[in-house]
Copies of this chain bind each other. A is one copy, B any other.
Amino acid sequence: MATPITPFPRVKHQREVFADGLMLDCGVHIAPLAVAYRTYGRLNADRSNAILVCHALTGDQYLAETQPLTGKGGWWGNLIGPGKRVDTDRFFVICVNVLGGCMGSTGPAEPRNGVDGDPWGTDFPAITIRDMVRAQKRLVDHFGIARLLAVVGGSMGGMQVLEWAATYPEAVFAAAPIACATHHSAQNIAFHEVGRAAIHNDPDWKGGRYWEDGRVPAQGLAVARMIAHITYLSEAALTRKFGRRLRGAPSLTFLEDVFEVESYLRHQGSSFVRRFDANSYLTITRAMDYFDLAAEYGGELRAAFQGTNTRFLVASFSSDWLFPTAQSRDIVRALNAAAANVSFVEIASDKGHDAFLLEEPDFYAALGGFLVGAAERVGV
C-alpha cells in the first residue's frame, strides 16, 4: 500500500559549483561538481582557524542553525556556536553536504547537468568515503585554506576524518575521528543491506526512477530508517525511553502498534522520508560499506598514517555497539604503530552510538579541550 507523500521540497542551498568536476574512485568522471556547505564564524587573516566538521550518514551541513526541511536546530548546535565549547567567535567552522547527499551537493537527487532537468537517479556512480573527502578538499582549496586547524566528525563523519588525515596529511593539523572505525564490519554491512532491501522492495521505488511520478519509496525508506535507528541506540537507552510501556489500553492484538517503542520507531521512519532521498541513502550506505582504510594502503592500517604530523583525538562511547570501543582502539593502535601523536578517550555513556549527537559533558569537554589545545599550538 503506497503512501502518497509530497517528495521533499527543493531548497536553494549555498554551494560552489566546480565545472571541471571530479574523478571518482570507480573511474567515472562527474562534472560539474556541486559542493553545498555552511560556514559559521569568520576565517581569520592567515586562514589558520578553520575547522571542517564532517557529517554522518543522514546528517547535513546545517550544523549549528535551523535545518530548512525539518525546522529543527542544527545537529551539533549545542556544541558549536558563539561562546560554545567550539566557539565560532574564535573558529571558522565549515560543514559540507557529502558528495552523494541530498542537500545540494552532487548526488542522485541532483540534476545531472548541475542546473535542471532529470536527476542522476540510479545512474549516479558508486562513490567512496575518499571521494566525499576529495569533494570537500575542493571547497577548502577554494577558500584558500592550505591547512585546516582540525577535521572533526562522528560515525561516517569519523570515517571522513580518517580519510582526510590519510589522504591530505599536510592539510590537517588536528583530527578527531569519533565513534567510528577504519572499516565497516560484516554486521554493519548486514544492517545496511536489510535497509537497502526494504527500499528496493517498495513498489514506489520503481527501480530508482521514482522521481518520474513525483513519488518516493516512503515505506521502504521508513523501514530502512527504523532498522538503522535501533542500531543507533543502546539497549539501555531504549529500555529507559520506552521499556515495555503500552500505548493506551493493553489490548491483545497482532495487527496494531501496542508498545510505545513501536510508534516511536514508526514516527522516526515516516519523518525521515520527508527529508531524505532514497537513492541518496542507497549511495551513502554503500560508500560506508566500501570503506576499508587498510585496504587502500596494501592491507597495512598503519601505512595510512606513516610519517603523519597530525595530532589525533580518538573518542568512543562505552555503550556504542554499532562502532564499539574496540574499533576505536584499532585506530589508536595503528596510529601508535605510525608513531603519531594520539590521545584516546572512551566516554562513559549508556546512550549508544547516538551519544555523539547528544549533549555529553565529558565528550564536549574532551573535544573542546583538544581543539583549544590545537588552536593554542598554532597561535589562533
- Contact of B189 with A1 in the complex, beta carbons under 8 Å: no
- Residue among B125, B186, B226 making CB contact with A244, cutoff 8 Å: B186
Q: Does A197 contact B (CB under 8 A)?
A: yes
Q: Mark A275-286, 1 if CB is under 8 A from B, else 0.
A: 000000011001
* Number of residues from A at the complex interface, CB < 8 A: 60
- Contact of B262 with A193 in the complex, beta carbons under 8 Å: yes
A110 to chain B, nearest CB (A): 15
A19 to chain B, nearest CB (A): 24
Q: Does A191 contact B (CB under 8 A)?
A: yes
- Residue among B208, B226, B252, B259 making CB contact with A126, cutoff 8 Å: B252
Give Cα A150 to B63, complex, Å.
Answer: 59
A293 to chain B, nearest CB (A): 12
Q: Does A289 contact B (CB under 8 A)?
A: yes
Q: Does A211 contact B (CB under 8 A)?
A: no
Which single residue of chain B is at the shortest CB-CB distance from A326?
B235
- Contact of A193 with B226 in the complex, beta carbons under 8 Å: yes
A351 to chain B, nearest CB (A): 13
Chain B residues lying within 8 Å of A127, measured Cβ to Cβ, are 254
- Contact of A122 with B261 in the complex, beta carbons under 8 Å: no
Chain B residues lying within 8 Å of A266, measured Cβ to Cβ, are 193, 197
Q: Does A65 contact B (CB under 8 A)?
A: no
- Contact of B262 with A189 in the complex, beta carbons under 8 Å: yes
A127 to chain B, nearest CB (A): 8
Give Cα A321 to B156, complex, Å.
Answer: 24
Give Cα A299 to B191, complex, Å.
Answer: 35
Q: Does A73 contact B (CB under 8 A)?
A: no
Of the 9-residue stretches A34-42, A89-97, A217-225, A362-370, which lies at the interface with chain B? Answer: A217-225
Q: Contacts A226-B194, A265-B193 known; A186 to B255 CB distance under 8 Å?
A: no
- Contact of A238 with B201 in the complex, beta carbons under 8 Å: no
Max chain B C-beta neighbours (<10 A), residue from A2, A239, A255: A255
Q: Does A350 contact B (CB under 8 A)?
A: no
Tell me if A's interface is mostly helix, strand, loop or mixed.
Answer: helix
- Residue among B227, B262, B283, B321 making CB contact with A321, cutoff 8 Å: B321
Q: Which of A117-171 contact B (CB under 8 A)?
A: 122, 124-128
- Residue among B183, B193, B230 making CB contact with A191, cutoff 8 Å: B230
Q: Does A184 contact B (CB under 8 A)?
A: yes
Give Cα A122 to B253, complex, Å.
Answer: 10
Give Cα A186 to B265, complex, Å.
Answer: 11
Q: Mark A185-218, 1 if CB is under 8 A from B, else 0.
A: 1110111011001100111000010000000000
A residues at B contact (CB < 8 Å) = 1-2, 25-26, 122, 124-128, 183-187, 189-191, 193-194, 197-198, 201-203, 208, 219-220, 222-223, 226-227, 230, 233, 235, 238-239, 241-244, 252-255, 257-259, 261-262, 265-266, 269, 282-283, 286, 289-290, 292, 321
In the complex, 30 of the A-B residue pairs with CB atoms within 8 angstroms, ordered by the A residue number, are A2-B203, A25-B252, A122-B255, A124-B254, A126-B252, A127-B254, A128-B252, A184-B244, A185-B235, A186-B238, A186-B239, A186-B242, A186-B244, A186-B259, A186-B261, A187-B230, A189-B244, A189-B262, A190-B230, A190-B261, A190-B265, A193-B257, A193-B262, A193-B266, A197-B222, A197-B265, A208-B255, A254-B282, A259-B289, A321-B321
